[in-house]
Chains A and B, each alone.
Chain A
Amino acid sequence: MKPDPDDYLPLAPATLHILLSLAGEPMHGYGIMQEVLRQSDGRYNLGPGTLYDNLQRLMKRRMVEEVAGPAAEESSRRRYYRLSQLGRGVLSQEIARLEDVVHEGRARLRALKPRRA
């Protein structure tokens, strides 16, 4: 049976950042760490242990898959990863969920604003 992306929601921050990093081209572990650092303006510094633990689980759930590296780095021992179709679906659903949260949050905050008499 095809897994439903909704079953994996909500995502943990580390998982979300990793999936976001892989939304573009395939990357190796160190590249993902750098990309997460860039995405979060240096606030979220992912360590290798956390990263590979998440990658291990994401691969087990078939959200991420290992691919061959770029031709220039074929001989490199580094492993490259990319988002699978399921991973892309989960990421889309999570972003839609976060959009709803943001929308709801803004509406609530607007309601809390003191009004002029």
Chain B
Amino acid sequence: MLRWLYIQLIWLHPAPFRWRFGDDMLDDFDRSTLRAKPRYFADAAASLARQWLLRPEFRPESMPVAADAPLETLGAPLFQTFETYKPHPAALFQGGLLAILSISLVVLVIGKGGGVARPFLIGVHFSSPSLLPIDRNSMTGSDLNTTVKLGPDPFEAWLKLARPYFTSMPVLGALDADRDLTLSPWEIGNAPAALRKLDINYDGKLTPEECGLHIDPNSVPPALLAQLRQRFMSYHPALAALDTDHDGEISSWEIEHAARSLRKLDRNHDGYLTADELIPFEMAVHAGLR
């Protein structure tokens, strides 16, 4: 949860700063002790204000319009602005603050049931008992004897299966930054950076052991070991998708292109990878979900 909040704080920074230092900031946060975390939050909040208010020179400028540019280029309409005026960052910040305060005030008034303010609120519906007269005598007890039975939520069953599965798979644990058992578009996009963290021996690639295979190499013959490693990588959909050349390892090139590989698992094309798209088919069948 704390990590997720910190990611959101990093995400609010201007894009150039976030792209350049976001990974390092998150890595530093991961290395810090629990006691130091509040200080990291305060520091990130201060950094956020500093980046937006005091560092306009590091933010990408809007597309410049050349003064001598032709009015039409290859028949495409050209839009030009005559002024380069941009509001001061401090004004934007104060405006945002004022908007938040105003909305909070309105919400507070509505919450407290302020009778005076209600006529001024747009869209408030005043119920009028005279509009739809209800004859309660027409309702009899026999009208209410229908029983509605709801079956178990199928997605809850997937989540129940996904929890231990995500825990046992370091790759999914690393990818699922906010621990919600779903890989969001941002988490998929961040996959190369997340996967590099698993590279314990810094050889640039991920072996089945770094991906979560627990097996003592001395306890099985080499031929069987190779077979087991290969089977491990092909059994889990996420690993099979990442290992595009099926050589039983995730190479540095495959790590670099991890986001594209993972998106192939998105069967319903909603941009998210959910438990039913990540859990091995056999495991789901065994749990009675397929």
Contacts and interface: CB of A to CB of B under 8 A. Distances in A.
B44 interface: yes
Interface in B27-52: 27-29, 31, 39-40, 42-44, 46-48, 50-51
Given A52-B17, A74-B202, A78-B24, A60 B58 contact: yes
Given A77-B193, A79-B24, A48 B199 contact: no
B27 A52 contact: no
B27 A30 contact: yes
A104 B248 CA distance: 68
**Secondary structure dominating the interface of B:** helix
B159 interface: no
B28 A48 contact: yes
Given A60-B58, A76-B196, A49 B25 contact: yes
Nearest to B13: A49
Given A53-B55, A74-B202, A48 B17 contact: no
B72 to A, nearest CB: 38
A72 B55 CA distance: 35
Contacts of B193: 77
B43 A49 contact: yes
Contacts of A47: 39-40, 42-44, 46-47
A55 B196 CA distance: 24
Contacts of B55: 53, 56-57
Contacts of A92: none
Interface in B101-129: none
**Secondary structure dominating the interface of A:** helix
Given A29-B28, A48-B28, A77 B23 contact: yes
B23 A48 contact: no
A60 B28 CA distance: 23
Interface string B249-273: 0001000000000000000000000
The 3 closest A-B pairs by CB, nearest first: A49-B47, A47-B43, A52-B21
Interface of A: 28-30, 33, 45, 47-50, 52-53, 55-57, 60, 72-79
17 contacts: A29-B27, A30-B24, A30-B28, A47-B46, A48-B24, A48-B40, A48-B44, A48-B47, A49-B44, A50-B43, A53-B51, A56-B20, A56-B58, A74-B202, A77-B23, A77-B196, A78-B27
